[in-house]
């Protein structure tokens, strides 16, 4: 998890980012690989009590997310320690929106991860993958230092679609999230 100072500079308004990606009141959502809850807490504020699940592999990340959530006095969240590739088995009901932010580029089996997210979605639901653009790392500077994953790990939206569509999801939109990110948005079939 990046340290909080430059993360806050890069993502000053996570709620606005979520809105641009299509999150709206009345939905239910999973923040998959939620880290310390930077996007989970605003999700809870937007969607209200019981509508959000935050999942991470590491108990210490879920601990940090819970503390941030308590400080923010946000509506209740269902916190899960577990592997994102098994999310469909860990969240009892299907949801409208699954977010994977700043993590997908490093997943060892990206199609398996997308397939698990797809199984957690309601018909017509959305998988939103927020990634660093495939720029060279030296070019993505925040607070005077290069940030983000190694250049060779970065993916274009087309690279993402190539590994997500075999999981049964359809690419519907790419949203620019300046200065260095995009959201690749995929839809589950509505049947
Ligand atoms: C760079 S952080 C991003 C956190 C958050 N999504 C954000 O954008 O602020 C990546 C997170 O993914 C988690 N992670 C990595 N592999 C995972 C897996 N297989 N299942 C669940 N979480 C995972 C890590 O523990 C870490 O907290």
Answer whether 33 contacts ligand 1 (Cβ < 6 A).
Answer: yes
Residue nearest to atom 26 of ligand 1 (CA): 35
Q: Distance from the CA of 132 to the center of ligand 1, in angstroms? A: 14
Collapsing DSSP to helix, strand or coil, 68 comes out as helix
Residue 2 has pLDDT above 80, yes or no: no
Which ligand 1 atom lies nearest to the CA of residue 107? 16
Q: Distance from the CA of 30 to the center of ligand 1, in angstroms? A: 13
Residue 1 has pLDDT above 70, yes or no: no
Answer whether 56 contacts ligand 1 (Cβ < 6 A).
Answer: yes
**Hey, what are 18's tokens?**
């979520």
Residue nearest to atom 10 of ligand 1 (CA): 103
- In the chain, the percentage of residues whose pLDDT exceeds 70 is 98
- Answer whether 65's CB lies under 8 Å from 35's CB: yes
Q: What is the mean pLDDT of residues 42-62?
A: 97
- Answer whether 132's CB lies under 8 Å from 149's CB: yes
Residue 4 has pLDDT above 90, yes or no: no
Q: What is the mean pLDDT of residues 43-58?
A: 97
Give the other-Cβ count within 10 Å of 180's Cβ.
Answer: 17
What pLDDT is recorded for position 54? 98
Q: Where are the domains of the chain?
A: 4-11+20-187
Q: Distance from the CA of 142 to the center of ligand 1, in angstroms? A: 20
Closest Cα to residue 102, out of 131, 80, 141? 131
Tens digit of each residue's pLDDT (9 = 90 or more) over 113-126: 999 999 999 999 99
Which ligand 1 atom lies nearest to the CA of residue 2? 1
Radius of gyration of the chain (CA): 15
What pLDDT is recorded for position 92? 85
Answer left, alpha or beta for residue 124, where phi above 0 means left and psi between -120 and 50 means alpha.
left
Reported pTM? 0.97
The fold of 4-11+20-187 is Rossmann fold (3.40.50)
């Amino acid at each position: 998890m990046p340290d909080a100072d430059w993360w806050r500079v890069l993502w000053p308004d996570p709620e606005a980012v979520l809105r641009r990606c299509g999150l709206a009141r009345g939905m239910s959502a999973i923040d998959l690989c939620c880290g310390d809850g930077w996007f989970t807490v605003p999700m809870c504020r937007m969607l209200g009590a019981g509508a959000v699940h935050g999942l991470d592999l590491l108990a210490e990340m879920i601990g940090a997310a819970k503390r941030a959530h308590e400080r923010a006095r946000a509506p209740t969240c269902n916190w899960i320690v577990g592997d994102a590739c098994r999310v469909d088995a860990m969240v009892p009901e299907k949801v409208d929106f699954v977010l994977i932010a700043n993590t997908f580029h490093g997943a060892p089996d990206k199609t398996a991860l997308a397939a698990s997210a797809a199984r957690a979605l309601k018909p017509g639901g959305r998988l939103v993958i927020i990634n660093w653009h495939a720029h060279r790392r030296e070019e993505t500077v925040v607070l005077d230092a290069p940030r983000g994953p190694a250049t060779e790990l970065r993916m274009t939206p087309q690279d993402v679609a190539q590994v997500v569509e075999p999981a049964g999801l359809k690419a519907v939109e790419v949203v620019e999230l300046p200065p260095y990110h995009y959201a690749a948005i995929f839809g589950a079939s509505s049947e």
